Amino acid sequence: MTTKPSALLRGFTLIEMIFIIVIVGIMMSLLVSSYQQRATNVKLTKAALQMQSLLQAASAYYKTYNCWPDANSTGQICKIEPVPPPTDFTPVGIDKDPWGGDYTQATATDSSQAFTVSATKVPKNLAARLAALIGATSTVCDNNLCTVTARVNSPFSVKLNLAT
């Protein structure tokens, strides 16, 4: 005697299982894509904030000592007696950009009236977005990596043209 299993005891068919797996796969791909986009936005925001912090620290240094700090905080370029200003001006915890590159700081070569900060290992596909966030003055790319540079001018660099 064979009996038919009741509707409650039957399992899922193969078609139903495949349908569920496809739906779960689509949902997972959407979640991963959203996570990657959010992680990229966090890195861009972090880099922009760090570069702005470095530029603000350099501006504060200039306002205090009337000269820019040394390019990489390794030496003394201000000649102030009797006590020279400190050589380390960078905010604590800012040493590398979110992509593992070093931040470089320099006094602009065209005059001593500007100071630059560069992020050195920005992925090429993100360089334009970072440049727009910080108002970068230059972006130089080599293969898939770019260097994005921002500049701050001396707060006292206004030149007055006084005619007598």
The closest of 39, 19, 32, 15 to 126, measured between CA atoms, is: 39
- 91 within a domain of the structure (yes/no): yes
8: in domain: no
- Report how far residue 74's alpha carbon sits from residue 147's, in angstroms, rounded to the nearest whole number: 22
Residue 159 counted as domain residue: no
With pLDDT > 90 as the criterion, what percentage of the chain qualifies? Answer: 20
Quote the pTM value: 0.70
pLDDT of residue 161: 41
With cut-offs at 50, 70 and 90, classify the pLDDT of residue 20.
Answer: very high
Q: What is the pLDDT of residue 110?
A: 57
Between these two residues, 52 and 164, which has the higher pLDDT value?
Answer: 52
Is residue 164 one of the residues assigned to a domain?
no
Which residues make Cβ contacts (< 8 Å) with residue 102, sequence separation at least 6? 95, 96, 120
DSSP type of residue 154:
-
Residue 49 parent element (H or E)? helix 14-65
- Mind listing the pLDDT tens digit for each residue in 120-140? 889 999 998 988 888 878 888
Residue 58 CB: number of other CB atoms within 10 A?
Answer: 21
**pLDDT band for position 26 (cuts 50, 70, 90):** very high
Burial class (CB in 10 A: 0-12, 13-18, 19+), 51: buried
Signed CA dihedral, 87, 90, 95, 97: sign only:
negative
Phi–psi pair at 8, nearest 5 degrees: -75, -25
Residue ranges making up the domain that contains 36: 14-153
* 7 in any annotated domain: no
pLDDT band at 7 (very low <50, low <70, confident <90, very high): low
Higher pLDDT, 81 or 32: 32
- First-to-final CA distance of the chain: 120
pLDDT at 18 > cutoff 90? yes
59-100 pLDDT per residue, tens: 888 888 777 776 554 444 555 554 566 666 677 778 788 998
Q: Is residue 160 pLDDT above 90, yes or no?
A: no
The C-alpha atoms of residue 118 and residue 138 are separated, in whole angstroms, by 9
Identify the CATH number of the domain in which residue 131 sits: 3.30.700
* Overall domain count for the chain: 1
- Average pLDDT (9-16) is 83
